[in-house]
Amino acid sequence: MSTAGSGDATGPGDAAGPGGLPGTPTREGGVAVRVIPCLDVQGGRVVKGVNFLDLQDAGDPVELAARYYAQGADELTFLDVGATVENRATMYDTVTRTAEQVFIPLTVGGGIRSVGDVARLQQCGADKVGVNSAAIARPELVGEIADRFGAQAVVLSLDVKRSDRMPSGFVVTTHGGRTESDLDALAWAREAVERGAGELLVNSIDADGTKSGFDLELVAAVRAIASVPVIASGGAGNLDHFAPAVEAGADAVLAASVFHRGEMTIGDVKTALRAAGQLVR
C-alpha cells in the first residue's frame, strides 16, 4: 500500500514538483489538480462502454495501471463493475498485483459492504475505498469506515443522472446508472460528508462515455455544498474538457476510455491544464 497521501504522491512521469512549474499560478489553497485514470474491472479485465452499457474489453488492469503510473498519474481508481461474489477474489488479486508495482494512491470501489471488506482491500494495497450502493442501503457504513480507517480513506461514489423529480435536478442512481434511487444527489452528498466521507467522486451517467465533456453544472452544484475534495468523472473526450471541470470546482479529473484507447496520455492532460493556468504536479 502506498504511504503517500492524495496531496503529496508523485509518479515517475511527474514534470513538476509540489510547487508546479516556474510561473504556474497556484490554485486556491495551493493544491495541485490530480489527474486520475479509472479502470472499470469485470472478470479480471478492464472494460468500457457508453452510459455504463455495451461493455467492451479494454485490456489487463495491472498492465494499464503500470502504464498510467509511468505517465505520471497522481492516483488510480479501480471500480469492480461486476461486484459479484465470483469476481471478488479476482479483484483482490488485481489490487495486490497492482500495489506491488504502482506507488501512488489506489482507490478501489464496487461491492464494499463492511469494514471487513475495507480491511482486506487495505491489506491487498488499497489506500482508499469507494462506496456507493451499500452506503445508500445503509448510510451508517460511511461513518463506520471513517471511524476505523479515517475520513481520507472513504470516497463516496456518486453515479448521478439529471432528474426533474429532485429539488436539485440530479438523482442518485445504482446498478451502473440503470436504477434511480429516491435520493437527491446534493442532499445525499451533503449527508455523506457529514457522516465522514472524505472525498466525492461525482460521475455523470448522462455524460459517461459520450466524450461530450464533463457535466459542469453538476460539478459546480456539488462543489457549492461540499467541504471535501470533488472528483469530476464522466464525459471527457478531448483535452479542452479538463480545465473547465476544474474551473467549475473539481479538485481532480478522472477519465477512462480516452486513456485506454491511447487518444491522450496523462501528460497531455497535465500540459493542457497547465496551459490553462492550473497547478499540476
| φ and ψ of 146, to 5 deg | -65, -40
SS3 10: coil
Task: Give, in degrees to the nearest 5, the angle at Cα 186 between 250 and 254.
Answer: 30
Element (H, E) at 191: helix 185-195
CA-CA distances (angstroms) from residue 245 to 33, 112, 171, 228?
11, 28, 20, 16
**Pairwise CA distance, residues 202 & 189, whole Å:** 9
**Pairwise CA distance, residues 99 & 162, whole Å:** 36
Neighbours of 22 (CB within 10 A): 6
Q: Which of 40, 74, 117, 208 is catalytic?
A: 40
Q: Which of 80, 117, 127, 159 is catalytic?
A: 159
What region does 234 belong to: left with phi over 0, alpha with psi -120 to 50, or beta?
A: left
Give catalytic status of residue 159 as yes or no: yes
Give catalytic status of residue 40 as yes or no: yes
Q: Which residues are catalytic?
A: 40, 159
